[in-house]
Structure 1
Amino acid sequence: MSESVSKYDLVIDALRKVYDPEIPVNVYDLGLVYKVDINEKGIQVTMTLTAPGCPVAGDIIFQVENEVKNMTGEPNVHVHLTFDPAWDKSMMSEEAKLELGYM
């Protein structure tokens, strides 16, 4: 890992590789990631989904864990799924809103 790239930046890069299969925008820019906590015990990503009944929830969580492990080399990566607060379109980055035609 380069000295100039922080572990947090690597986590964000990893999150930008994970897409909801129905939306052509990554989970980070969609605003699905609420918090990234990095400490001596590992990395925890607190995130949500676009809908509570998302049929690919397990796949997305698995992809997030694997991408973060691969990018950071940290074996202890956990995803905490929450629906509080509920996701809405206002949480997307400006780039995501442009991509999806919300601007």
Structure 2
Amino acid sequence: MTEESPDKKDFVAAPAPNEQVLTQAPPKPPRARVEDVVEDAVETPKETMERKRDYLEGFLQKKPKQAGPGGAGGELQEAVVSALKEIYDPEIPVNIYDLGLIYGVEVDDESDVTVTMTLTTPHCPVAETMPGEVELRAASVPGVRDAEVNLVWDPPWGPDKMTDEARLELGML
């Protein structure tokens, strides 16, 4: 066996054609120093504590685009909801929308309105007249071609369906 001389190197693989060969190590980037900070960029304590502009502000205020009169958030649907908010439960001094009796208001492309609602109980004194009044009120909104009310009992109405405004009005908050 022969001894290798100290100046003799072992085999070194050649770099691939797409690799860059560095003969020297790249210079280190300069370290950041406190003195290098620009004085104009430093916020005062008051500026730090103030609330910054909410980046979602414009997004949350934007209304959905409507292709026609129907759909959630449409002008016709909002008008029907406003009309339904004028109907009050005869036993409770809260409108039926805030009371949670209206489960849904749908407006289709032909401006037909379908209101899905319930009553507080099946034995409600206005069980026979309330759906008819809701249908008349929804049909009387300008732009509505026809209105229909679907009276459902499932899911049953409960106080949890009321809005916070209704709870406040009834002293439940």
Same fold (TM over 0.5): yes
1:21 partnered with 2:90: yes
CA distance in 1, matches of 2:144, 2:160: 32
| Higher deviation after alignment, 51-60 or 18-27 | 51-60
Higher RCO, 1 or 2 (CA under 8 Å, sep at least 6)?
1
* Residues 1:65 and 1:43: Cα distance change in structure 2 (over 3 Å): same
1:37 partnered with 2:106: yes
| Higher deviation after alignment, 38-47 or 24-33 | 38-47
TM-score normalized by structure 2? 0.54
User: 1:59 maps to which residue?
Assistant: 129
User: 2:13 maps to which residue?
Assistant: none
1:71 partnered with 2:113: no
CA distance in 2, matches of 1:66, 1:9: 16
Give the counterpart letter for 1:58 in structure 2. E
CA distance in 1, matches of 2:116, 2:86: 17
CA distance in 2, matches of 1:71, 1:98: 29
Give the number of equivalent residue pairs: 99
Cα offset, 1:92, TM superposition: 0.4
Deviations 1:52-79 (A, max 9, x none): 1112122211211111122234241010
Structure 2: unaligned runs, 5 residues or longer: 1-73
TM-score normalized by structure 1? 0.88
Q: How much is the aligned-residue C-alpha RMSD, in angstroms?
A: 1.5
Give identity over the alignment, percent: 45
Which ranges of 4 or more aligned residues in structure 1 deviate by more than 2 Å? none
Cα offset, 1:86, TM superposition: 0.5
Cα offset, 1:41, TM superposition: 6.4
CA distance in 1, matches of 2:97, 2:130: 12
